[in-house]
Amino acid sequence: MNDVIERKIGESIILEIHNLGDELKDKIKEQLVEICHGEYALVSGLNYHSFNETVKELVNHRIPSNINRKVGVIGELLLNVLIREFTDIKIVSPFFNLEERNVKKGFDIIAVDPNKDLWIIESKAGELGKLKTSTEKVRERINTAKRDLDTRLNMHNSQLWLNAVNSVRSALDDTSEKNTIVNILNKNSNSCLSNDKNVILGGTVFCIFNSTIDSIELRKLYNSILSSNKFSKLKLIAIQKQTYQAIIDFLVTLV
């Protein structure tokens, strides 16, 4: 994708979006219905699953007015798009919260890899704030994602896993695949531990490109989290883009 510069560092990826160009805009448009509702929406025939209704729902009801939450929602949407483009894992949960229009309760994104291993994905996004460089901000966001998942996966919370099962059931079209992944989720939910779970920690920073994410520092962060033995397998995705508002402005043009 010409709009995105990719740098691979072992099990981590740095993605720099220097321009919200036509190619990336087209990807967002192409994938929006499936991202928001899951692949079932592509064949359901429901009016609410149409592109027009989906983008109206997103722009009018799903993007919060609170700045921090707004940045978080756009960061997660962007992560949804880029995971589909730059990895071989399949997202099996919808972006939209099923029960209500506020922030999703539970895991941000659930995915499976080609070996049918389950991956739990946590997305954190932010602007620089008081931090000086994009590297510092991405480290802070990924560490926050790590702490959040570490806490949630190590507590007994049946609702967390029920939400995950319901979201997969609503998102997938193929019954056998749906049953396979629900069984994997059930197996994962049997332990209230994080160290037998595969996780992807996504950190997105919205800031100008007077600094870019340092690949050596990201590798150090990966090694540090991995050696803490908090999780089974680990991937990091670090994204840098100048502004989140450009994505909102583009979505508004689609309504």
User: Would you write out the chain's pLDDT as a tens digit for each of its 255 residues?
Assistant: 888 999 999 999 999 999 999 999 999 999 999 999 999 999 999 999 999 999 999 999 999 999 999 999 999 999 999 999 999 999 999 999 877 777 667 899 999 999 999 999 999 999 999 999 999 999 999 999 999 999 999 998 888 999 999 999 999 998 999 999 999 999 999 999 999 999 999 999 999 999 999 999 999 999 999 999 999 999 999 999 999 999 999 999 999
Q: How far is CA 19 from CA 3, 23, 76, 77, in A?
A: 6, 10, 18, 17
C-alpha 110, offset from chain centre: 9
Please give the pLDDT value at position 45: 93
Structure tokens at 174: 């193929």
* Counted domains in the chain: 1
CB contact set of 4 (below 8 Å; sequence gap of 6+): 15, 16, 17, 24, 82, 85, 86
Determine the Cα–Cα distance for residues 120 and 110; give it in Å rounded to an integer.
Answer: 5
Which range marks the domain in which residue 37 is found?
A: 4-253
